[in-house]
Structure 1
Amino acid sequence: MLTLSCPSCGAEVRFRSHAAVMAVCEYCRTGVLKDPGSVGDLGKIAEVLEDFSPIQLGTAGTWNGRSFTVVGRLQLRYDAGFWNEWYLLFGDGETGWLGDASGQFTITVDRPTDEKPSPFDTLRPGMDVTAAGERWVVADVRTARCTGGQGELPFRVGDGWEAKVADLRSAGRFLTLDYSDGYPPKVYDGTSVTLESLRPQLLRDDDAIRQTAGRYRGKVQALDCPACGSGIKYLPGMTANLVCPSCRAHLDAASPQVAVLRAGEKLAAVRTTLPLGAEAKVGNQKLTVIGVMRRADDEGTEWTEYLLYGPRSGFTWLVETDEGWQRSNAMDSWPARRGDSVLLHNVGYRRLYAYPARVTFAAGAFNWRVAVGDTVQVEEFEKGQERLTAERTDHEITWSRSKPLALDQLKAWFPGVLKDVMPPLRKPAALTDGSRYRGAAKFLIIVAGALNAVPLMVNFGGTIAYTILAGLALYLPAIFLDNNDSQ
């Protein structure tokens, strides 16, 4: 361990990691350069914003049989939100990063490679690329700005420092290409994890979080919209972006004081089946509806999506369409492309639909910035009753898995809320099994055969050819129309 004196206030600044280049003085926020011969002053480093994360400097845990301690932190912000990167010192002296974004966590470690990946400006979400000798799918391409730091860090960070990063995926594995220092990028390899799987120690409890942030993390709170004064419920530390249900103002709840990002227009209230704030009891967990979003495809078909949050279960989506309800969750392990299908855990899913989805209404709290007019490209893949859905924007691609949810089950979760809701009218089987035209053609062929029964008996040889040709003229176009429908 190396101990230096802060050039600004004289306090001790300790370096535990040999890879750390600088540290932030915990007393005066000065960035201290690690140079025993000549202590460098890198200027003041901004405080992190409202600190709702349960992780803190000194938190310890275990990953892949390796013990680690949190020794530093960066807070990074981009257009749609922000996240924390915690700098880890492993017991063997190596270092890594623990990504912390809206309750989802990843661990990555340095992966030296002589290979030069694609330049940052050429990467697009959904691209197949080769990096570190393997094939990956580009999941996220971002330029983020550092808004605060703590503890030890492996590179110089100052006012206005930007991170240019691309996240790649392969099933449950993760690869980060960091272009912040130019080309070629630094490469970090890792996986998605849960906080519980790390067996963490010295986490902050609710009271400690409340003392620094003023509110409890992940427990529904209310604030007054600064644009119209209406009350808004949200989750401190989990949902940084809000849409006022009354005036549609977009609010940034990650700032010390909630700021209005864009004044909303007065709109007529949109009635939804599940209201904001509705609470569900799912097993022994309580979920709360914190956000409501309505979307439409390019043909005008609309559906409603409800964002639910539970302190232990995290985020869950309920999707309401004309055909019924579905429960959907984000996927940490992604499927692999196989032409027009995808493969997940050796199970194939066939491509069902591809369409653009545009936000037509939004209200409540979300863990990313959402606005009316936002559009994503959607692909759906199906296996039995289970669907995998990919949503792509200019900056990222996400995958989710959904299954049908019976209305009776939903009513049991929300007692009293859905008592007057009726199940959707089901389409006849002939219209939903992918063979409706063939069914109609078979019916007409049978009718034609019955009408020609007498001519067939009188002159079989002269009539059968015309009957067969008429049947084919009905059935072959029906096959084409059914195949067109399925596509």
Structure 2
Amino acid sequence: MQTVSCPSCGAEVRFRSHASVLAVCEYCQSTILKDADSVRDVGKMSAVLEDYSPIQIGTAGVYDGLHFTVVGRIQQRYSAGTWNEWYVLFDDTSTGWLGDSSGLYTLTAEIADPKMLANLPAFAELLPGRQYQIDGVPYTVAEVRNAECIAGQGELPFKVGAGWRIQVADLRSYSSFITLDYTDGPQPVLYLGFAVTLESLQCQLLRDDDAIAKSAGKYRGKLEALDCPSCGSGIKYVPGAAAQLVCPACHAQLDASDQEAQVLAIGKQVHDNVDITLELGASAKINNADFTVIGMMRRADDEGSQWNEYLLFSARAGFFWLVETDDGWSRSNVLPNWPTWPSLDAERCALDGAVYTKLYDYGSQVVYAAGAFNWKVAVGDNTHVYEFEQGQTKLAAEITAEEMTWSRSVPVAFDQMSAWFGAAFHGVATGRNIKLSHKQTARIFIAIVLVLNAIPMFVSFSSTLLWSVLGCLALFLPAVFLDNNAKNPHE
């Protein structure tokens, strides 16, 4: 470890890694560049934006039997939000990066193997969902980002500053994770690693609620309110958890990551007669964790069918979605490990030994949004969705121009929703949660017709059967026609 004095304020600044060339003074935010035998101040680095991340400088853990310590961080902003890259130092003096985005984590290290660096794609040709063979392994492009560094903290292995722009792409193969960094030129730097959890890393010295309250002046998970700078209406949100807001009144897009909320875009005019079953701020205890509904959006498919999606946040358990369709409720979680899917045209995918069959392939658009989200949401956002099913479990791949995600959803019973949310759920109309399709209704009437005609069939089989068949067709065929005209992709 090397300790130097900050040229700006005189405070002690430690370089724990010999590979580190830059450190940010925690007292005055000066950026200190380490030369061969001296240090110099190269300007101020913006302070990091407070977020809900439990990681901090000094957090320690174990990966593959080797202990590590977090010694630095850069915070990046791209078109849809922000994420952290934590610089980690292992006990054997090797280094790596702990990616931290919306409660999902990856641990990677730079790989200089010429075999893996051969025939890598150009940045311009990368598209979410496209597959590439890297060292004989098929990787799928998950994200393509043009981003900029907005803040730094601790010590880092290269010189950065606010406004430093990067070009990166993330690729996945089950739990394996690759980042291709094109910042320095057409030949990318390759980082290889895996999706991880803080539990699997046995992390210690994580931030708790009190530490976050001390640094941010807010308790993680506590619902706050601010006045929309566009229209003045009050907006409830969870500070630090999701800084991208949509005003429920005027639908302006807001950024609440700084001291004052800023208007990113004036909201589009939308019809507000949306049937909302869970109000923003509704809370529930789920699996011993306290969750709050922080955001809600309504989406429509190519044929006009619509459904609601509610974003829930817990200080301890992160994010998940509750999806409300005409067929009921389901719980959806973003997958850290990706299914095997040979191509966008493939009719099957596989995950953890289970094979899922393709159900639907459709475009969707956000038609209403309100509340707080962990990425930038706006009315008119388009996504292409591929749905797969195995039993009652569904997988969904969602693809935009910059990103691809996989999620897994399972049904949630109406009684379970009532138990979770109590009066906050019972106080609204829930008719569509038990609504039957036209075909289901027709089947019930057909069964009644057959039962009522069972006895006469023994007396006059041919004539009774004929009239029974005609009656069943008269019930069923219109029902099929009505359901096809109002097809719900989540059926």
- 1:316 equivalent among 317, 320, 326: 320
TM superposition shift of 1:43: 2.3
Query: Deviation string for 1:379-399 (max 9, x for gaps)?
Result: 001111111000000001001
**Is structure 2 residue 384 aligned with structure 1 residue 384?**
no
Provide the secondary structure at the position in 2 that maps to 1:337.
Answer: coil
Please give the root-mean-square deviation of Cα atoms over the aligned residues, in Å.
Answer: 2.7
3-state SS of paired residue (1:3)? strand
Distance 1:312 1:14, change over 3 A: closer
- Deviation of the 1:38 alpha carbon: 4.7
4+ aligned runs moved over 6 Å, structure 1: 428-433
Aligned-partner residue type, residue 174 of structure 1? F
Q: Larger radius of gyration, structure 1 or 2? A: 1
Residues 1:373 and 2:380 aligned together: yes
Distance 2:71 2:435 in 1: 58
Deviations 1:60-114 (A, max 9, x none): 1212221111111101111111011110000111001111222222211222221
1:27-426 maps to which residues of 2 (within 5 A)?
27-114=27-114, 115-116=117-118, 117-264=120-267, 268-338=272-342, 339-419=346-426, 421-422=430-431, 423-426=433-436
Letter in 1 for 2:260: Q
Q: How does 1:429-440 map to 2 (within 5 A)?
A: none
Query: 1:18 — aligned with what?
Result: 18
Structure 2 regions of 5+ residues with no counterpart? Answer: 447-460, 466-479
Query: TM-score, normalised to structure 1's length?
Result: 0.85
Deviates more, 1:358-367 or 1:124-133: 124-133
Q: Residue 72 of structure 1 aligns to which amino acid in structure 2? A: G
The structural deviation recorded for 1:450 is: 5.1
Unmatched segments (≥5 aa) in structure 1: 437-448, 454-477
SS state of the match for residue 121, structure 1? helix
Q: Secondary structure of the equivalent of 2:212?
A: helix
Question: How far apart, in 2, do the equivalents of 1:236 and 1:259 lie?
Answer: 14
Count of paired positions: 444
Measured at CA, do residues 287 and 52 of structure 1 come closer, stay the same or move farther in structure 2, by a change above 3 Å? closer
Per the normalisation by structure 2, the TM-score is 0.84
Letter in 2 for 1:175: I
Whether contact under 8 Å (2:295, 2:372) holds in the other structure is: yes
Q: Give the Å deviation of 1:286.
A: 2.5
Per the TM alignment, residue 191 of structure 1 is displaced from its structure 2 partner at its CA by 1.7
Deviations 1:247-268 (A, max 9, x none): 2121101122111212336754
Tell me if the contact between 2:104 and 2:336 (Cα under 8 Å) persists in the aligned partners: no
Q: How does 1:436-455 map to 2 (within 5 A)?
A: none
The one-letter code of the counterpart of 1:426 is L
Partner letter of residue 2 of structure 1?
A: Q
Deviation per CA, 1:339-369: give whole Å up to 9, x if none.
Answer: 3210111211111110110000000111111
User: Identity of counterpart residues, as a percentage?
Assistant: 55
Q: SS state of the match for residue 108, structure 1?
A: strand
Deviation at 1:53, TM superposition (A): 2.9
Distance 1:216 1:39, change over 3 A: same
- Contact 1:113–1:187 (CA under 8 A) maintained in structure 2: no
Task: Tell me: CA distance 1:136–1:207, structure 2 relative to 1, closer, same or farther (3 Å).
Answer: same
Q: Distance in 1 between matches of 2:220 and 2:299?
A: 29
Deviation sequence 1:439-468 (CA, Å, 0-9, x none): xxxxxxxxxx958x9xxxxxxxxxxxxxxx
Cα displacement (A) at 1:311: 2.4
Q: Please tell me the residue identity of whatever aligns with 2:309.
A: E
Q: Is the 8 A contact 1:102 1:237 kept in 2?
A: no
By how many angstroms is 1:10 displaced?
4.2
Partner of 2:450 in structure 1?
Answer: none
Instruction: Give the Cα separation in 1 of the matches to 2:321 and 2:442.
Output: 25
CA separation of 1:228/1:269 partners in 2, compared to 1, >3 Å: closer, same or farther?
farther
Residue 375 of structure 1 deviates from its aligned partner by 0.5
